[in-house]
Amino acid sequence: MNMKTSFKISLCGILSAAALISFMLENLFPPIILPGARLGISNAFILLSAVLLGGKYGIATLIIKTVIGSIFAGNPSAIMYSLPAGLAALTLELILLHFTSVSVVATSVLGAVINTTVQNLTFCLVTNAVEYLLYLPYLGLIGAVGGVAVGLIVYLVVKKLPENKFINQ
């Protein structure tokens, strides 16, 4: 294992821990208006991991945060609908960032809306609660607001970071 790889794994671990902590802290507050509605600030660390270290590290951060976070929150069944949603959103974000010149903020907004949509559709499928779909448009709107916040955080953090030869090269 060369220094570049060990550096990336260490940074991925730190970002995963930060994502997990922010996820748990956000869970302590009641949801915004509707059940499941949150800004999803922990997603900033996932997107940051993908931008700084590359797609596979971003996916690793996502899996660590979702699996351990759901268990810590006392709701392991959430993995069933959170993980596919997170993977769909992150895949879309990576495609947009790699192949288009759309800003990281717009990428994050679109990712957040996709995340919310996939998560709720999967949730309704798993729990057989079609009535829950009534909340989907509202959750999409709240997700979009969260996407702006996440995109701006990633944009501002990356702007402030110094050039580093180990990062994403």
The four Cα atoms 140, 145, 148, 152 give a dihedral, to 10 degrees, of -140
- Residue nearer to another protein on the CB measure, 4 or 137: 137
Site residues for another protein per CB under 8 A: 24, 27-28, 30-31, 33-36, 50-52, 54, 72-75, 77-78, 96-107, 109-110, 113-114, 117, 123, 127-137, 140-141, 144, 147, 152, 154-155, 158-159, 161, 163, 167-169
- Residue nearer to another protein on the CB measure, 87 or 167: 167
133 in Cβ contact with 124 (< 8 Å): yes
Provide the minimum distance between the beta carbon of 2 and another protein in the complex, in angstroms, as a whole number. 18
- Residue nearer to another protein on the CB measure, 17 or 144: 144
Q: What is the DSSP letter of 165?
A: T
Provide the minimum distance between the beta carbon of 109 and another protein in the complex, in angstroms, as a whole number. 5
Residue 160, Cβ density class (10 Å: 0-12 exposed, 13-18 middle, ≥19 buried): exposed
Q: How is 55-73 classified by DSSP, letter by letter?
A: HHHHHHHHHHHHHHHHHHT
Length of the chain, please?
169
> Up-side HSE of residue 79: CA atoms within 13 Å toward CB?
14
Question: What is the C-alpha separation between 168 and 63, in angstroms, rounded?
Answer: 20
- Residue nearer to another protein on the CB measure, 18 or 37: 37
Provide the minimum distance between the beta carbon of 41 and another protein in the complex, in angstroms, as a whole number. 15
Provide the minimum distance between the beta carbon of 38 and another protein in the complex, in angstroms, as a whole number. 9
- Residue nearer to another protein on the CB measure, 27 or 91: 27
